[in-house]
DNA sequence: TTTCAATCATGAATGATATTCATTATTTCT
DNA sequence: AGAAATAATGAATATCATTCATGATTGAAA
C-alpha cells in the first residue's frame, strides 16, 4: 500500500509547454496557461453537458492534468463555474462597449444591445445556468465579483438609456432599473421560447418589438401612424417626446442668457 | 363499496389529517398521505436549503420514512423536484384564474397578475430554481408536464392580453408571445433586483411601471393629447417640425460639449 | 380467526463523484 | 550540483443518490 511502482503514466507538461516557437516560458506563464487550459476545458464541458453532468475528471482529462491539479487552481467546482462566467462576462461587456458606439439613435443602440445579448445567451445558454448555481443567496451576491461584472455589463445599457431619456427618445416615467429588468428579463425569456420552438429566425422580431416597446415613437413613425389611424396613443407619446425637447430647449436658452450676463 | 379495486384514485378530502386520532384509513389513503408528506417535506427542505444542498436523507427524515421509501413514490430526486413544482403551479394558476375576474380594465387585470406573480416568486424563489434543474434540455421540454402546466398558467395572461388588444387597450403591433416573455421575464428579473437590494416595497412600483409600459395610454391620457390636435395631418406636420428642431438642438448641444473640453 | 399473496417499508450495500492528502516530480536559487 | 520551493499526481476518503435483498403489513379468502 505504501509502495508504489508508479510512473505508469507520464504526461509531458514540459514538452507540451516548451513546444514551438514559444520555447521557454517563465513558471508564471506556464502556470497561467495551465489555468487557462482548465478554464477552457471547463467551458467546453459545461457547454456540452451542463454543470451537473460534467465531472472534475472530465475537465481534468480535457485539460490534460490530474484531477488533483484542478484543485490547485480552483477551490472547488463552483469556483470553476465562477471563472467560466467571469470570462463570459468579459467578452460580453467588451463587445457591447465596442459595438454600441457605432450607432447614433437610441433605438439603433438598443437594438444592437438586444441582438448582441440575445445572440450571446442563445449561443451560450448553458453558461447562463451557471449564474443560478454560483449565486447561492441574494444577500451575499451584492458585493460579489459576479455582481460587479454584471454592473459593468449593464452600465453600457444604462448609459444608452440615460442619454435616450435626455434626448426624449425614451419615456422618463419608467425608472432605469425597471427598464433594465424588463429589457434583459424579456430577452432571457424570449431566448427560452426561441430555443423551445427552435426558431432562431424570430430573433429579429424580438429585437425589433422589444425596442419598439421601450422607446417613444419618432416623428417618422408617428406620421405613418397618423396617416393610417391617427392612433391617439402614438400621438400622446410623440407629444411626450416633444415636450421633453421643449424643456431641454428652455434650459439651454436659460443657460445662455445667464452666461451672457 | 365493493368495487374499490376498479377505482384507480380515491381522494378522500374529509379525512385529510391522517395521523393522530384518525385510526382507520384505507391502504390507499395511507399511501396518498405518505406521498403528500414526502412532497411537503421536499418542498420545505428545497425552500430552506435549495435543491443541491438538500439530501434525500433530509427529506426522508422530515417525512418520517426511510430513504428507500422515497424511491417507492418518486423515481429520483428530479422527479421530486417536478412534483414540488407541479404543486406550486397548481396553486399559482388557481389563484390567477380566481383573481383576474375581479377586475374590469386590462390595466387592472395585468396589475393584478403582475402583483400576484411577483409576490409568489418572491416568496417561493427557490422553487423557481427547480425549473432550471428539471428542464434538462429545451427540446424535450415541449410536450412535458411542466410545459403544459406553464401553458395553463400563462393562458390566464394570454386571455387578458387578447381581450385588451381587442378593446384597444393594448398595442396590437407586439406579438403575444413576445409580450408574454417581456412581462414574465421582466418580473423575474425585478424579483432578483428586489431581493438583492432587499426592498420589498418596490413591488408596487414595478407593477405599476410594467403595466404602464405594456398598455396604451388610457382614454383620459389620450384625450388630453388628442384635444391639442385639430386633425391628424396637422399633428404629423407639427411632429415633423418639432423633430427637426430637436435634431438641430442636439447638434448644437453636441457641438458645445465638444468645445468645452 | 387464520393464512397467504400482494404491497409496502426498510436500511445496508453499491456506485458515482467531489475533495483531500501523502507522495513524487519539477523548477528555481544558491 | 544540491536544497528549498513549488507544482503535479492519483489513490484514499467522504458524501450522496440510488438499488436491492429482506422483512413487515395488509386485505380478504377460506
What is the pLDDT, as a whole number, of residue A168?
Answer: 82
Q: What is the pLDDT of residue B132?
A: 85
Q: What would the pLDDT profile of A119-143 be if each residue is shown by its tens digit? A: 999 999 999 989 988 877 777 888 8
Residue B62 placed within a domain:
yes
User: B140 in a domain, yes or no?
Assistant: yes
Q: A91-126: per-residue pLDDT in tens?
A: 999 999 999 999 999 999 999 999 999 999 999 999
pLDDT band, very low/low/confident/very high, at B138 (cuts 50, 70, 90): confident
Same domain for B118 and B212: yes
- Given pLDDT bands bounded at 50, 70 and 90, which one contains residue A14? very low
Write down the residue that cell numbers 384518525 correspond to.
B22
Is the CB of A76 within 7 Å of strand C? yes
Residue B227 located in a structural domain: no
Interval A158-203: pLDDT, tens? 999 999 998 888 988 899 999 999 999 999 999 999 999 999 999 9
pLDDT at B70: 97
Please spell the DSSP secondary structure of A46-68, one letter per residue.
HHHH-TTT--HHHHHHHHTS-HH
Q: What percent of chain A has pLDDT over 90?
A: 61
- Supply the pLDDT for residue B255: 66
Mean pLDDT for the stretch of residues B205-230:
70
For the CA of A33 and the C1' of D9, the distance in angstroms is: 19
Residue A191 phi, psi dihedral angles, 5° rounding: -55, -50
Q: Is the pLDDT of residue A156 over 80?
A: yes
Contact A222 B236 (CB under 8 A): yes
* More reliable by pLDDT, A237 or B126: B126
Residues A113 and A236 in one domain: no
Whether A207 and A255 map to the same domain: the answer is no
If asked whether residues B171 and B46 sit together in one domain, one would say: no
Cα(B145)–Cα(B135) distance, integer angstroms? 10
Is the minimum CB–CB distance between A252 and chain B shorter than 8 Å? yes
**Is residue A9, in this structure, part of any structural domain at all?**
no
Is A17 inside any structural domain?
A: no
- A169 near A216, Cβ under 8 Å? yes
Alpha helices in A143-231, H assignment, sequence order? 145-167, 176-197, 203-214, 219-228
Mean pLDDT of B190-217: 94
What pLDDT is recorded for position A108? Answer: 96
Residue B32 pLDDT level (bands cut at 50, 70, 90): confident
Q: Who has greater pLDDT, A28 or B205?
A: B205
Is B153 a domain residue?
A: yes
Looking at A6, A40, A74, which one is the last position of a domain? Answer: A74
Q: pLDDT tier at A241 (50, 70, 90 boundaries)?
A: low
A205 and A92 together in one domain = yes
Task: Name the H helices within chain B.
Answer: 27-49, 56-63, 67-73, 77-100, 106-123, 125-134, 138-141, 145-167, 176-197, 203-214, 219-228, 232-260
Grid cell 403591433 is found at B173
Assess whether pLDDT exceeds 70 at residue A243.
no
CA angle A95-A97-A98, nearest 5°? 65
Nucleotide nearest to B66 (CA to C1'): C10
CB contact A232 to B (< 8 Å): yes
Assess whether pLDDT exceeds 90 at residue B243: no
Instruction: Please return the burial class of B184, using the count of CB atoms within 10 Å of its CB with bins 0-12, 13-18 and 19+.
Output: buried
Q: Is the CB of A27 under 7 A from strand C?
A: yes
Mean residue pLDDT across chain B = 81
Domain-embedded: residue A12: no
Nearest by CB to residue B226, choosing from A132, A196, A235, is A235
pLDDT tens-digit series, residues B141-177: 888 889 999 999 999 999 999 999 988 889 888 999 9
State the best of B138, B244, B248 to mutate against chain A, taking most chain A CBs within 10 Å: B138
Could you tell me if A139 lies within 8 Å of chain B, comparing CB atoms? yes
Give the CATH number for residue B180: 1.10.357.10
Same domain for B192 and B89, yes or no, is yes
CATH number at residue B43: 1.10.10.60
DSSP structure string for B207-237: HHHHHHHHSPPPHHHHHHHHHH-S-HHHHHH
Report how far residue B238's alpha carbon sits from residue A244's, in angstroms, rounded to the nearest whole number: 15
* Partner-chain residue, chosen from B213, B226, B235, that has the shortest CB–CB distance to A174: B213
Last residue of a domain, one of A199, A215, A231: A215
Q: Note whether B229 contacts A237, CB cutoff 8 Å.
A: no
pLDDT of residue A25: 62
Whether chain B has a CB inside 8 Å of the CB on A26: the answer is no
Look at residue A33 and tell me whether its pLDDT is greater than 80.
yes
**pLDDT attached to residue A257:** 63
What grid cell was written down for B194? Answer: 428586489
Q: Where residue B226 falls among pLDDT bands split at 50, 70, 90? A: very low
Q: So what's the pLDDT on residue A20?
A: 31
Tell me which chain A residues have a C-beta less than 8 angstroms from the C-beta of B139. Answer: 198
Of B31 and A78, which is predicted with more confidence?
A: A78
Domain assignment present for residue A256? The answer is: yes
pLDDT of residue A9: 31
pLDDT at residue B1 tops 50: no
d(CA B28, CA B33): 9
Number of domains in chain B: 2
| B121 and B170 share one domain | yes
Whether residue B113 sits in one domain with residue B191? yes
Same domain, A61 and A98: no
Nucleotide in closest CA–C1' contact with A35: D7
**A44 & A166 share domain:** no
pLDDT for the residue A12: 32
Looking at the structure, do residues B152 and B166 belong to the same domain, yes or no? yes
Judge if A68 and A121 occupy the same domain: no
Which structural domain, as residue segments, surrounds residue B58? 28-74
pLDDT digits (tens, 9 = 90+) for B86-123: 999 999 999 999 999 999 999 999 999 999 999 999 99
Does this model's pTM top 0.95? no
Which residue, of B7, B40, B74, is where some domain finishes? Answer: B74
Amino acid at each position: 500500500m505504501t509502495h508504489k511502482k508508479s510512473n505508469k503514466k507520464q504526461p509531458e507538461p514540459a514538452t507540451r509547454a516548451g513546444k514551438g516557437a514559444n520555447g521557454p516560458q517563465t513558471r508564471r506563464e506556464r502556470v497561467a496557461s495551465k489555468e487557462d487550459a482548465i478554464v477552457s476545458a471547463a467551458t467546453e464541458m459545461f457547454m456540452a453537458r451542463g454543470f451537473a453532468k460534467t465531472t472534475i475528471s472530465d475537465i481534468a482529462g480535457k485539460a490534460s492534468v490530474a484531477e488533483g491539479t484542478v484543485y490547485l487552481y480552483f477551490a472547488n467546482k463552483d469556483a470553476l463555474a465562477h471563472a467560466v462566467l467571469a470570462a463570459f462576462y468579459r467578452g460580453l461587456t467588451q463587445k457591447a462597449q465596442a459595438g454600441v458606439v457605432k450607432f447614433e439613435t437610441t433605438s439603433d443602440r438598443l437594438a444592437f444591445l438586444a441582438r448582441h445579448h440575445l445572440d450571446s445567451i442563445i449561443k451560450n445558454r448553458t453558461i447562463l445556468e451557471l449564474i443560478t448555481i454560483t449565486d447561492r443567496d441574494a444577500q451575499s451576491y451584492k458585493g460579489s465579483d459576479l455582481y460587479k461584472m454584471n454592473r459593468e455589463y449593464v452600465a453600457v445599457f444604462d448609459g444608452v438609456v440615460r442619454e435616450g431619456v435626455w434626448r426624449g427618445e425614451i419615456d422618463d416615467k419608467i425608472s432605469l432599473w425597471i427598464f433594465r429588468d424588463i429589457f434583459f428579463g424579456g430577452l432571457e425569456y424570449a431566448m427560452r421560447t426561441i430555443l423551445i420552438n427552435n426558431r432562431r429566425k424570430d430573433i429579429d422580431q424580438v429585437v425589433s418589438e422589444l425596442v419598439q416597446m421601450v422607446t417613444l415613437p419618432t416623428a417618422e413613425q408617428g406620421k405613418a401612424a397618423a396617416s393610417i389611424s391617427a392612433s391617439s396613443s402614438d400621438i400622446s407619446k410623440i407629444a411626450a417626446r416633444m415636450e421633453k425637447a421643449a424643456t431641454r430647449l428652455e434650459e439651454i436658452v436659460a443657460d445662455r442668457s445667464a452666461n451672457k450676463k
